[in-house]
Chains A and B, each alone.
Chain A
Amino acid sequence: MNNLSELHLDALAEVFSIGAGRAALSLSEIVGDEVRISVPSVQLINAEDINPATLSLNCGQFGAVNQHFSGPFNAEAMLLFTEEQALKIVSDMMGSQMSLEELAEFEHEAMCELGNIILNACLSAMADILGFTLESSLPHYAVASANEILSRLRKDNSQPYVMVLHIDLAIEKRHTAGNLVFLLSSASLTNLVSHVDQFLNKLL
């Protein structure tokens, strides 16, 4: 139960690639240029096994957009970029000549919106394809160090599973990489797996 099969992961990867496509479409409408988002891998990890390398949390400060969602399963979703990347994304999205100091002023709100677009696209794709309804809180953005994020991920005993999606985002030829992390309880993971099973059973 704690392990997802290749087929489960493939199904989730397909779900999230559709989510990524939706997010890219919304973002391209905002930036007026092509935006590419891909999800090259999906992993399921025990929260206690998580280390800086799994999330490429090498150093410095990270910008994290959080949304809590509930439905057939509950989870905390967190989208992570390094703060430097976050500022670059905001600057690309605003397409402006602003100084980095001025950009920092908009970082908070603009990252909330970017995170909201990516998270909602992934959640809605999951809901549409796996056939359920999810509710979600509004996004919240915070800047934290790698250590703060790791201890946050490991601390919560009620959510021992972490689903990690690596996200590649390209706006106007600049590539950035981030991670989308879902914190799941055992019960929520079981529910998610059973929804994926139902979906797969229809195909066999």
Chain B
Amino acid sequence: MNDPHVTSSAKLNRGNGNNTEKYAPAQSGVKHFDTEDIANAVNIGLCVVNAAGKVLLWNDWISKHSGIKETDALNQPLEQVFSEQISPAFLSALKNSLTHKLPVVLSTALHRTPLPLYHEFELGIQQPRMYQSISMTPLRSQHNEPCCLIQVTDSSTSIKREKILRSHSEILKKEATTDGLTDICNRRFFDAHYEIAVADAKRQKYPLAIFMVDIDFFKPYNDHYGHLAGDAVIKQVANTLKLQLSRATDIVARYGGEEFVLVMPHLAQDIAEKFAEKLRAAVFNLAIPHIKSPSFHQITISIGVCSGIPEKNDNLLNKADTALYQAKQKGRNQCVSISLCETTEYLEQ
């Protein structure tokens, strides 16, 4: 439950018809508190308007954040109480709630600042309005008059809290999503990220590029130089690939043993091809000796690229993998690019 506002109002409203009893003195026994004291003590805005739109309750919280005293608000039409405009969405929601006697919510997400409320009032300083979450609940007055209870919460704090929670969970997430050896993203992160990236490219109709990268003749290297040296090569290649990325939207992940994958949004085929060549050259220029590599005698990589605007069943990853296979077949230390619209059968001819 990440929205305390909704939960608490739902509780208040349970059994709906009982609302009047909550605000009227208990039928039997003594009334322990004055309802108005409670209304003024709570840390949310409370305001009641009747069917004619006149204010019947105006708590301290609302006074504080609107700069309007209770005495200036009571019995006035709500629209005239504020000197600034109330959002049309708020007014039509209030009208709906009063007409149909149904509860209505206005989310921060879609409305931000329906009422002219502020955190603090300082003379002469124009401040931004407070972000608000609002709910409206039908209510009957003690004279059985249909009314509407408006509850306002300050959602700037909940947005902040959510951001803190998110950054906290991001730290936790980092451990679960980072590859222990190379410190780049792991397979798990890639799987989740890939799905989101494809969905987003589909929706916004922009080209997405996927690069599958594999270290050539890695097994012979491991066998000859040993596993520790093999690990060191994987780390160096991962780091080199990572250094080529400059945009926040791009990621490189360790896909498997000596395989890597890069996801780069907004990259058309021709630019993706050039970028793949840059990746290949960067690893080649490391000039790590590999005497068991038959043709190059140093560490090299093969790259398969696929770029395009994904549609319904397009599988960028499969095509990039096919391209990588072709790069291997053609002799390694090279890039092969497949555009998303080409069919694989055509290429294999």
The reply to whether the CB of A88 lies closer than 8 angstroms to some CB of chain B is: yes
Measured CB to CB, the closest approach of chain A to B107, in angstroms, equals: 4
Contact flag A109-B92 (CB < 8 Å), given A123-B100, A127-B100: no
- Asked whether B107 lies within 8 Å of A100 as measured between CB atoms, the reply is no
List the B residue with the shortest CB-CB distance to A140: B10
> How far apart sit A196 and B85, CA to CA, in the bound complex (Å)?
43
- Asked whether B133 lies within 8 Å of A109 as measured between CB atoms, the reply is yes
Contact flag A138-B9 (CB < 8 Å), given A84-B199, A105-B162: yes
The interface residues of chain B, by DSSP majority, are classed as helix
> How far apart sit A133 and B17, CA to CA, in the bound complex (Å)?
12
> How far apart sit A177 and B3, CA to CA, in the bound complex (Å)?
26
The reply to whether the CB of A54 lies closer than 8 angstroms to some CB of chain B is: no
The reply to whether the CB of B124 lies closer than 8 angstroms to some CB of chain A is: no
Q: Mark B79-120, 1 if CB is under 8 A from A, else 0.
A: 000000000110010001001111111111111000000000
The reply to whether the CB of B250 lies closer than 8 angstroms to some CB of chain A is: no
Measured CB to CB, the closest approach of chain A to B193, in angstroms, equals: 10
A70 partner residues in chain B, CB cutoff 8 A: 16-17
The reply to whether the CB of A135 lies closer than 8 angstroms to some CB of chain B is: yes
> How far apart sit A112 and B137, CA to CA, in the bound complex (Å)?
15
- Asked whether B105 lies within 8 Å of A105 as measured between CB atoms, the reply is no
The reply to whether the CB of B138 lies closer than 8 angstroms to some CB of chain A is: yes
The reply to whether the CB of B224 lies closer than 8 angstroms to some CB of chain A is: no
Q: Mark B1-35, 1 if CB is under 8 A from A, else 0.
A: 01100100110011011000000000000000000
B13 partner residues in chain A, CB cutoff 8 A: 137-138
List the B residue with the shortest CB-CB distance to A174: B203
B108 partner residues in chain A, CB cutoff 8 A: 106, 109
A84 partner residues in chain B, CB cutoff 8 A: 199
> How far apart sit A113 and B2, CA to CA, in the bound complex (Å)?
15
B199 partner residues in chain A, CB cutoff 8 A: 84, 100
- Asked whether B3 lies within 8 Å of A108 as measured between CB atoms, the reply is yes
- Asked whether B106 lies within 8 Å of A113 as measured between CB atoms, the reply is yes
> How far apart sit A197 and B313, CA to CA, in the bound complex (Å)?
49
Measured CB to CB, the closest approach of chain B to A83, in angstroms, equals: 12
Q: Which of A29, A105, A124 contacts B92 (CB 8 A)?
A: A29
List the B residue with the shortest CB-CB distance to A113: B107
The reply to whether the CB of A120 lies closer than 8 angstroms to some CB of chain B is: yes
- Asked whether A30 lies within 8 Å of B6 as measured between CB atoms, the reply is no
Q: How many chain-A residues does the 8 Å CB contact rule pick out? A: 33
The reply to whether the CB of A13 lies closer than 8 angstroms to some CB of chain B is: no
> How far apart sit A42 and B107, CA to CA, in the bound complex (Å)?
30
A99 partner residues in chain B, CB cutoff 8 A: 200
> How far apart sit A129 and B183, CA to CA, in the bound complex (Å)?
63
Q: Which of B6, B166, B203 contacts A138 (CB 8 A)?
A: B6
The reply to whether the CB of A20 lies closer than 8 angstroms to some CB of chain B is: no
- Asked whether B110 lies within 8 Å of A140 as measured between CB atoms, the reply is no
> How far apart sit A138 and B106, CA to CA, in the bound complex (Å)?
11
A94 partner residues in chain B, CB cutoff 8 A: 109-110
Q: Mark A24-59, 1 if CB is under 8 A from B, else 0.
A: 001001100000000000000000000000000000
The reply to whether the CB of B196 lies closer than 8 angstroms to some CB of chain A is: yes
- Asked whether B2 lies within 8 Å of A108 as measured between CB atoms, the reply is yes
A124 partner residues in chain B, CB cutoff 8 A: 96, 99-100, 102
The reply to whether the CB of B135 lies closer than 8 angstroms to some CB of chain A is: yes
> How far apart sit A191 and B30, CA to CA, in the bound complex (Å)?
40
Q: Which of B3, B103, B159 has the most CB of A within 10 A?
A: B103
B100 partner residues in chain A, CB cutoff 8 A: 120, 123-124, 127
| CB<8 Å pairs between A and B, sample of 13 | A30-B110, A84-B199, A90-B109, A100-B196, A105-B159, A105-B162, A108-B2, A108-B6, A123-B102, A124-B99, A135-B102, A137-B16, A138-B103
Residues of A within 8 A of B (CB): 26, 29-30, 70, 84, 88, 90, 93-94, 99-101, 105-106, 108-110, 112-113, 116, 120, 123-124, 127, 133-141
Query: Which 9 A-B residue pairs are closest in the complex by CB-CB distance?
Result: A106-B109, A109-B107, A110-B109, A124-B100, A113-B107, A135-B16, A120-B102, A138-B103, A138-B10
Q: A120-B100, A137-B13 are in contact. List 6 more A-B contacts (CB 8 A).
A: A108-B6, A110-B110, A120-B103, A123-B100, A134-B102, A135-B17
Residues of B within 8 A of A (CB): 2-3, 6, 9-10, 13-14, 16-17, 88-89, 92, 96, 99-111, 133, 135, 137-138, 159, 162, 166, 196, 199-200, 203
